[in-house]
Amino acid sequence: MFGTELVENVISKLKCGKAAGLDGISVEHLQNCHAILSGLLAKLFNPMISLGYVPMAFGQSFIVPVLKNRNTVYSKSVILDDFRGISISLVLSKVFEHCVLNRYCD
């Protein structure tokens, strides 16, 4: 199962400066909050693993279009194929995903 130390390590390794998810929580919120949060998240993640159920909100994200090559803007008209989408998901789901990968990657 997941311990407080694992959750703390995962949170500390997340990159700062990324966009917040639909809930408005960013990596900086988790890294600068009270130390008890890691224990609470571990207590949330453990039943999710044992029950085999992940809340629907953990799968929610939104897609932001980003230009593939900025030079194409000036040389021709921009078409749909000039964009790629990046998905912005919840930070808590990223923490859960990294915990699962850390524990069960083998």
Structure tokens at 9: 């390590």
The alpha helices in 27-87, defined as continuous H runs, are 27-31, 36-51, 72-75
Specify the pTM: 0.84
Q: What is the pLDDT of residues 30-86, one digit of tens each?
A: 999 999 999 999 999 999 999 999 999 899 999 999 888 766 556 677 788 888 999
Distance CA 65, CA 55 (A): 26
**What is the torsional sign of CA 13, 17, 21, 27?**
positive
